Amino acid sequence: MSLEVTFCGAARTVTGSQYYLQYTGPDGSKFSFCLDSGLFQTGQKINLFKINSHLLFDPRTLDAIILTHAHLDHCGRIPYLVKNGFGGKIYSTEATKKIAEVVMSDAARLHTENQKSDFSPLRGLKKSDLSSQVNKIEFDGEYLKHLSKIALESENLGLYSQEHVAKAMRRFKTYEYHKKFRIHPNLEIEFFDAGHILGSAYVTITEVSSNKQIIFSGDFGNYNKPIIRDPEVPKKLKNTTHVFIETTYGNRYHGKLNPKERLRKIISETVRQQGKVLLPSFSVERAQEVIYYIVELMQDNKLPKIPIFLDSPMASKILEICLGHPELYDDDLQDKISNSANPLIYKGIQILETSAQSKRLNQFQKPCIIVAGSGMLTGGRILKHLYFHLENPKNTLLMVGYQAVGTLGRLIWDGTKEVEVENKTLQVLTRVENINEFSAHADQKILKKWVVDIVNQADFETNTKAKLFLMHGEKEASLGFGKEIEASLPSQVESYWPKFGEKVTLWK
């Protein structure tokens, strides 16, 4: 019996989560499965196509996928595996399945829309010339340099289509938290609430015959977030041998977060000068969280009851899914529902489904809050609103998330006073604010407590330590967390920062 893992993503970087595991059973039978299969999201578009289209295993031999949650960097390559021959089952929670369909469908739409414009300069080239053109593009990070010799195919440059998403959805099988199930006669799986987004899970994989266990954190959540419950405390995990831990904020403390008060102050000041609040937001989790806080403030009479326009078809679909899963809400929201005060169904929220409705909103003259994608101003309906409102000093552009280098959001946040939006040069005259206190990821303190709770339950053999794989983080964050946890548990934990493409034997 043996178990090996190949690190196919989220290794020395923060996106592209994909772990390929190969198991040999007691009878010598072979079984392979993935834990997550997400898209890399950092880099130029051609560069990203090149990375995401390259797999370190044959999808036709893959038996199963276990999905921790539905963010694109964890589920976005599943349709690509289906396109290339994967025919096994996909295991997740029910909420994760529903959100993943929305996320993957949106990704397929973008692949279809963008492939002509993104890759048209490469079409018609001979393969040798094509390879030369593509290899001029630098990869972000040392861990991907070995991919520089892979040439793009000259046909069908989109990763996948809606057809592949539909085929993937037919392969899902869902389980509730704490409902154990087997993907192989000798491998048992259990989902625990990770408190990251609706339906998110951390996963235990147990070899039934030996009772040995490994744990994948997926993305681990922050405490005291609205709507969903806090991350679950692990219990009865005494036979843990390996822990795969996300380290996005592994070297940082969030400190005391009070985004609700920041929202109140910024929105109040904008309304007083009869302006609009333009709020670019990520569709999964962030948009719903921001709306929740704003409506709470209105219900408590701490904000004037101005209209809230949710101008994002994707975010509205996620909101609908969220409303369909009250069993996943935290105690605070459960109490509000019992008192008929659910902020997510507030009558002042107007959902704009069509582009025509979105365009008409630009003629609205009264103070309001416009929530629209994308979060980094890289596309979506928010660009139309910037086009009409960026040069009005009464308005506020309120960013509620990280702005990556090279995005329009980052340019504006860095103080650029003149930008191009929708092929027009605009002066940035609106007030610009950024609330970085919304975080769906655990900080070092929370991650450390989670690992300590697991390790202190473990029943190790003499001179044996738990192996801690430092995943989903940049160098300083990952190695900083490894150093901290080894200092706290010097005789119980050994941390390791794996490389992209590296293969490690877990059990033998």
Residue with the larger pLDDT of the pair 121 and 28: 28
pLDDT at 238: 81
Q: Which of 40-49, 113-122, 216-225 has the lowest average pLDDT? A: 113-122
pLDDT tens, residue by residue, 415-456: 999 999 988 999 999 999 988 778 888 999 999 999 999 998
- 283 cis-preceded (ω within 30 degrees of 0): no
- Tell if the pTM clears 0.75, that is, is over it: yes
Q: Which of 147-151, 294-298, 375-379, 421-425 has the lowest average pLDDT? A: 147-151
Alpha carbon distance 88, 494 (integer Å): 34
Closest CA to 51 of 121, 145, 114, 161: 145
pLDDT tens, residue by residue, 378-423: 888 999 999 999 999 999 999 987 776 677 998 999 999 999 998 8
Q: Per the structure block, which two tokens stand in for 417?
A: 């006073």
Is residue 468 pLDDT above 70, yes or no?
yes
Contact 250, 470 (CB under 8 A): yes
What does pLDDT average to over the chain? Answer: 88
Question: In the sheet that 503-507 helps form, which strands lie side by side, from edge to edge?
Answer: 172-174, 89-92, 64-66, 30-37, 18-24, 2-7, 503-507
Is residue 298 pLDDT above 50, yes or no?
yes
pLDDT at 68: 98
User: Quick one: pLDDT band at residue 45, thresholds 50, 70, 90?
Assistant: low
pLDDT tens, residue by residue, 336-352: 999 888 999 988 999 99
What mean pLDDT comes out for the span 235-240? Answer: 83
pLDDT tens, residue by residue, 168-195: 999 999 999 999 999 999 999 999 999 9
Backbone angles phi, psi at 135, to 5 degrees: -75, -5
Strand partners, 396: 277, 431
Closest CA to 311 of 353, 276, 279, 283: 353
Angle at 139 between CA 136 and CA 142, to 5 degrees: 130
pLDDT tens, residue by residue, 88-109: 999 999 999 999 999 999 999 8
pLDDT over 70 percentage in the chain: 89
pLDDT at 374: 86
* Cα first-last separation, the chain: 6
